Structure formats: structure tokens, C-alpha cells
Amino acid sequence: MTKNLTLLILSLLFFQTVKAQKATDTVITYFKNTGEIVNNKDSADYIRMVLPPDTATNKNLYRVFEFYPSGKHKSVSTSITGPFFITLDGTSISYFPNGVRKNITQYKNGKIVDDITTYYPNGKLYMILRADYDGFYYPQITGYPQLTGMELVECRDSTGVVLASNGNGHFLIFNKYYSTVIEEGNVINGKRDGEWRGLIADSGRYICTYHKNILKSGISYIRSGHSYPFKEFLVKPTFDGGNDNFKVFIKKNMIYPDFAKEHNLSGLVLLSFTVKTDGTLSDIKVIRGDIPCLNEEALRIMRFSPMWSPGMQYGFPVTMNQEASINF
């Protein structure tokens, strides 16, 4: 039975992306690791297949399978919504490309609950985290689940030696390839406490101090020899004066297109752009907008934007992508 199901799943992967006409159909979509949807499996980093609920077991949960290009499982989970929009609910199991189980996570209505159990690529237990707050936050810095707000229960090295148990001891945080420790420090009663040290890509390192999981202070050091104090790991780019001033700028510079006036057209245009380290904008484009003349006006307005305050990581400015909406 299992073999037949596997053959059926793999055979379905040869169809083109998103094969569905109604909610009960199987949907196959091809993804890059960035989350971008692509048109064919040859350019995809992984493949998602959403099957309708199995009425014999649970008529309310869609079955969600993700595969590496090799055909091996990337994850197996269930969702209360589908097939095009996923809200995970129940047990989700993810796998390394070598087929070894990577982590087991419990979801409720799209939010992580209970324990997150993770493993090394060799199959040995890595660490156990426990969700103790409403929701779970993935940072934009390391790509690894941020531990702030999580109870840190247990950590072991790749040979099985226990480094922390029952919320006390030393934690090691690896990069996504499990080749380098990118952060480490002590925990007391399940929370980061005292000095933690980490790496910043290839450019430097940082030292920060926690008390009961709250970041108190930090300082980063980069290869140029400069150091940067910080109290937040990540600060997003901002328009000078904040969102209220941004709305004033939009209103002051908007020229409502004649065609839109004549045809009583209105709508929301969502833009994406890059804020460089000097605050200038580049790569401005429309990512959602149904009316061409409004899209063009939104682009024109953003091209006149004054400089923004750049995004900050570890206390120093970095180029960062940003989104903004203009309502006509």
C-alpha cells in the first residue's frame, strides 16, 4: 500500500504547476527556496503537492507533501485550508535531503504549539524547544528560527552528548548546513541568560547580553575594525518621520490619472523596492495592482521619494528589501 502511494505521488510530479479546477483536486506547485513560485520542476528547489482531505481519516485536513528534486520527502504535514493557501494544523515532519528526519513540529491553526524536536543530519537528537507564547517568529538574519520567546529545553552535540537539559546548560545554534556554530550561550530555566556570541555571515561577529530571553545590549565587530552597538538585531528601513509622513508625501505628490477619473477607477497598488545603505531606493516595481494607469502613477511617486533611513542589522546599515502600498 505504501509503495503504491509513493509511486502515485511521484508520478503526479510530472504534471505542470497548479493542476486544479476545483477545491477537491490535487494541486502541484513548484517553489524556489525563497518562496517564489516557478513554472516548472526543472527550475524548482522543491515541489509542493496538496491533496484533498481524506474522508476516511479526517475530512477537514488537507494533506501537504513537499519533495526535493530528487523525489525524497522534504516535509509531510496537514492543513486546515487549501489547496492554494496553507494553514498548518497537526504534526509536521520535515526531512534533510538525505532522507533523515530534520524536525517534528506541532501546529494549531497555523501557529506552533508544544514542542519542536530537531535532529542532526546523522539522525541524532539536536535540541528541543517549547513554544510558550502566541505565535512563532522566523528572523530575516540567519534563516534559523529565532529562539527569543521560546523555552530552550534541551541541546546535544552531534555525538549525543547532552549540553543542556531541563532548560539549563549551554546551547549551540548551527547554520542551516550544520557546518558552523553561528551562535552559542547559556540558558537558565529555559531562557537565554548572560553572554551569547555569534557570527555575522563572513563579515564579523557579535557579543550580546540577555536576561530572561530579553536582549539587553549587543556589539558587533566587522573585518574593517569598526564596532557597532545595538539593542535590536534587526531594524527595518523607514521613511523619514515614519508612516504618517509617508502618507503625507504620497498625498502631496499624487496626480490622479485622468483615465482613472473618467472611469471612476480606484484601487490599492503594492510596491516592492530596495533601500540601499545610503538610504536611496532602487529596483522599484509593482507586485500587486490591477489597473495599469494607477500602477504607473504609484511607480512615478516612489521614484520621487526622498531618502529613507536604511535597514540595520547588528547595529550597522545594510541593503534591505521593503514593501509599501499606495491607495488610490
Cβ 77 vs Cβ 88: under 8 Å: yes
More confident residue, 1 or 303: 303
Q: What number of CA atoms fall less than 13 Å from residue 155's CA on the CB side?
A: 21
Give all strands (DSSP E) within 175-280, no chain letters.
181-188, 191-200, 204-211, 214-222, 227-230, 234-235, 238-239, 268-275
Show the 3-state SS of 266-279: CCEEEEEEEECCCC
- With a cut of 50, say whether residue 196 has pLDDT above it: yes
H/E stretch holding 116: strand 111-119
Average pLDDT over residues 150-163: 94
**Domain assignment present for 129:** no
**Domain assignment present for 311:** yes
Dihedral of the CA atoms 153, 156, 161, 162 (nearest 10)? -10
Average pLDDT over residues 197-213: 88
- The residue segments making up the domain with residue 243 are 238-327
What percent of the chain stands above pLDDT 70? Answer: 87
**Domain assignment present for 298:** yes
- With a cut of 80, say whether residue 21 has pLDDT above it: no
**Domain assignment present for 93:** no
- With a cut of 50, say whether residue 249 has pLDDT above it: yes
H/E stretch holding 47: strand 46-51
Place of cell 528572523: 139
pLDDT of residue 13: 42
Give the chain's largest Cα–Cα span: 72
pLDDT of residue 149: 60
- With a cut of 90, say whether residue 136 has pLDDT above it: no
- With a cut of 90, say whether residue 145 has pLDDT above it: no
- With a cut of 50, say whether residue 81 has pLDDT above it: yes
Which of 41-55, 74-88, 138-152, 184-198 has the least mean pLDDT? 138-152
d(CA 257, CA 263): 10
d(CA 39, CA 196): 43
pLDDT of residue 22: 44
pLDDT of residue 8: 42
β-strand partners of 148: none
The domain total for the chain is: 1
Which of 1-5, 67-71, 166-170, 254-258 has the least mean pLDDT? 1-5
**Domain assignment present for 280:** yes
More confident residue, 142 or 272: 272
Average model confidence (pLDDT) for the chain?
86
Which of 13-27, 52-66, 110-124 has the least mean pLDDT? 13-27
More confident residue, 141 or 12: 12
Average pLDDT over residues 219-241: 90
**Domain assignment present for 291:** yes
Which of 6-10, 101-105, 295-299 has the least mean pLDDT? 6-10
Cβ 47 vs Cβ 59: under 8 Å: no
**Domain assignment present for 78:** no
DSSP 8-state code for residue 160 = S
Report residue 118's pLDDT band, with 50, 70 and 90 as the boundaries. Answer: very high
**Domain assignment present for 172:** no
Helix and strand numbers (H, E) in the chain are 4, 25
CATH number of 320's domain: 3.30.1150
- With a cut of 80, say whether residue 122 has pLDDT above it: yes
Coil, strand or helix: which one is 259? Answer: helix
Average pLDDT over residues 235-247: 92
pLDDT of residue 57: 73
pLDDT of residue 34: 81
CA distance to 163, 233, 298, per residue, from 197 (Å): 16, 13, 43
